[in-house]
Chains A and B, each alone.
Chain A
């Protein structure tokens, strides 16, 4: 194995496009981020921002056609996953990188017992016999806090509640002690009380196994609770990439600021929640410049014309916004001139 630095996962300029009859949708557009061993990275964004497609791209699980990873690199332990064979990818999926999904109700196969579904992944990657794999599945169910696991293992998904099923999914994902766990909105479909339990469970198991977690969510509360670092996605791009603390203390991208402002607050007496005006642009008809420009209160001419790069604005944060570049003041002058003429 090649040497790699402390980043277990490093994504560089990842591009995943969908080729449909309506046109090409750049669902993931030059996305870069990295993941250190044992840390939790949050990927935040609204529906359609490309966060789920990003996570599926990491395991090369994009439905093709119409989807395709057209560019970039995904370095896992120093090796590019995009140059691996299908066979090599299969030995990584569920073993070194595993994933849990938003819908625990439909993510488990309805016709097999949950024990069998966990044991299957153990047999596949750990070369264990049927009996040992089953025993390990039962142990995993116990580990994720399912009472009377021996009995539960024999049950089928429809006999379990939503929270239970998500615990089963977590047991299945962690059964082979993966180095990276991708959790795609793991709590969205669950009751609020169960949400907290599931997040707590993921956090505890992460500590126990030293797993790095990519937590995909649209819930900033979840980010605040669970993440070390955060990537904010908008229309297929990362617009702000920073630590969780910094995101809440000192947000920089106008979109992030808008998101935080639209959170309900206990310390203020509000009649109505603040919203960001406008809607997300159609993936088939992206603005020429910054994709947030049409909704941005600060937008200037340059924002409509050129796409800003994601770049460091200080030691901690990377932001993709003209407002945080040196061009901004020059642009101001340019605008003025245009105005005069």
Chain B
């Protein structure tokens, strides 16, 4: 198992290198010249060239890339072009907020999704099942920025239950977490339902019944653990989608997280900040996938580690 984890960690290295290269190249291709932008309006050509030289932007791209990777490996992602603060420092301030949001959302995704899925599966074709599946369909279909605004409109503006925007308390977390987690919860609910329905038809469930076990033991002990195997994969993928979703949700709820940081950085052509932010987000994504693999293996020991 330990060997498996180590091997998987080693496998992440080429993935991360690839991500860094893509991010780096895309930013090179984006129209707009950071040197011009930074030098300010009305700067002479000379000043612009000087800024370009200071930032090392006049060197060959390949050199710039390796230089970047070399420094990034030591935790140095450069300095923000906007305020000259180290990129990593800035990210480290924003990252915990986004992680909090992501964790709260994934909790909603997993808990809500699984409970709804189990109810649906055990009471197939009942009113509860049909209602859950309709709500789940809505959950998948509604765009999160619209859904977030509607939540703000009803719960914050009209009912005054939750704050409109910002971050810091549990109250602040609830609406953004629901906005971000709803789509995932819907997908998890559908997945849990179909997986559970598949599992209860299996022979070992019949064996469990023939043993004289109670129905809830059959469902939760013998069924659920098997049914969760495909659900874990979906949850893992959802976490990736969630990181992307934070960009929108943070903008809607005016939360100063990593997503918003990246958006702002793109808007101001703050190259090092965009690269650093995307790279850190990718690292988190890659390690989440790793965690899913390990969990998957824990739940399904039939998987061959080699």
| Inter-subunit contact A110/B302 (CB<8 Å) | yes
Measured in the bound complex, the distance between the Cα atoms of B211 and A101 in whole Å is 12
| Inter-subunit contact A125/B203 (CB<8 Å) | no
Check B207 for interface membership: any CB of A closer than 8 A.
yes
| Inter-subunit contact B204/A106 (CB<8 Å) | yes
Per the 8 Å Cβ criterion, residues 198-223 of B in contact with A are: 202-204, 206-214, 222
Q: Which of A95, A103, A111 contacts B212 (CB 8 A)?
A: A95
Which of chain A's residues have a CB closer than 8 A to the CB of B301? 111, 156, 158
| Inter-subunit contact B226/A110 (CB<8 Å) | yes
Check A93 for interface membership: any CB of B closer than 8 A.
yes
| Inter-subunit contact B213/A90 (CB<8 Å) | yes
Check B167 for interface membership: any CB of A closer than 8 A.
no
| Inter-subunit contact A121/B225 (CB<8 Å) | no
**Residue-wise interface mask of B (179-206) relative to A, using a CB-CB cutoff of 8 A (1 in contact, 0 not):** 0000000000000000000000011101
| Inter-subunit contact B212/A109 (CB<8 Å) | no
Q: Which of B204, B209, B210, B214 contacts A109 (CB 8 A)?
A: B204
| Inter-subunit contact B211/A93 (CB<8 Å) | yes
* A90-B203 contact given A111-B225, A111-B299, A158-B301, CB 8 Å threshold: no
Q: Which of B202, B225, B302 contacts A106 (CB 8 A)?
A: B202
Which of chain A's residues have a CB closer than 8 A to the CB of B226? 109-111
Check B11 for interface membership: any CB of A closer than 8 A.
no
Measured in the bound complex, the distance between the Cα atoms of B204 and A106 in whole Å is 6
Measured in the bound complex, the distance between the Cα atoms of B211 and A143 in whole Å is 19
| Inter-subunit contact A107/B300 (CB<8 Å) | no
Which of chain A's residues have a CB closer than 8 A to the CB of B300? 110-111
| Inter-subunit contact A107/B206 (CB<8 Å) | yes
Measured in the bound complex, the distance between the Cα atoms of B210 and A109 in whole Å is 13
Per the 8 Å Cβ criterion, residues 95-117 of A in contact with B are: 95, 98-99, 101, 103, 106-112
Measured in the bound complex, the distance between the Cα atoms of B302 and A110 in whole Å is 8
Check A310 for interface membership: any CB of B closer than 8 A.
no
Which of chain B's residues have a CB closer than 8 A to the CB of A93? 209-212
Which of chain A's residues have a CB closer than 8 A to the CB of B214? 90
Measured in the bound complex, the distance between the Cα atoms of B210 and A95 in whole Å is 9
Measured in the bound complex, the distance between the Cα atoms of B212 and A90 in whole Å is 4
Which of chain B's residues have a CB closer than 8 A to the CB of A99? 210
Could you tell me the distance in whole angstroms from the C-beta of A117 to the nearest C-beta in chain B?
Answer: 8
* A103-B203 contact given A110-B226, A111-B299, CB 8 Å threshold: yes
Which of chain A's residues have a CB closer than 8 A to the CB of B207? 101, 107-109, 169, 172
Check A67 for interface membership: any CB of B closer than 8 A.
no
Q: Which of B202, B209, B299 contacts A61 (CB 8 A)?
A: B209
| Inter-subunit contact A94/B210 (CB<8 Å) | yes
Measured in the bound complex, the distance between the Cα atoms of B211 and A125 in whole Å is 9
Measured in the bound complex, the distance between the Cα atoms of B36 and A136 in whole Å is 80
Measured in the bound complex, the distance between the Cα atoms of B214 and A108 in whole Å is 17
Check A92 for interface membership: any CB of B closer than 8 A.
yes
**Residue-wise interface mask of A (154-178) relative to B, using a CB-CB cutoff of 8 A (1 in contact, 0 not):** 0010100000000001001000000
* A121-B302 contact given A61-B206, A107-B206, A109-B204, CB 8 Å threshold: no
**Residue-wise interface mask of B (284-306) relative to A, using a CB-CB cutoff of 8 A (1 in contact, 0 not):** 00000000000000011110000
A87 to chain B: closest residue by CB: B214
Check A91 for interface membership: any CB of B closer than 8 A.
yes
* A172-B302 contact given A109-B226, A111-B226, CB 8 Å threshold: no
| Inter-subunit contact B211/A107 (CB<8 Å) | no
Check A59 for interface membership: any CB of B closer than 8 A.
yes
Measured in the bound complex, the distance between the Cα atoms of B210 and A101 in whole Å is 10
Which of chain B's residues have a CB closer than 8 A to the CB of A89? 212
| Inter-subunit contact B204/A98 (CB<8 Å) | no
Could you tell me the distance in whole angstroms from the C-beta of A159 to the nearest C-beta in chain B?
Answer: 9
Q: 8 closest A-B pairs (Cβ-Cβ)? A: A93-B212, A94-B211, A106-B203, A94-B212, A109-B204, A90-B212, A99-B210, A107-B203
12 pairs of residues in contact across A and B, judged by CB atoms under 8 Å: A59-B210, A61-B209, A89-B212, A93-B211, A94-B213, A98-B210, A101-B203, A110-B204, A111-B226, A111-B299, A169-B207, A172-B207
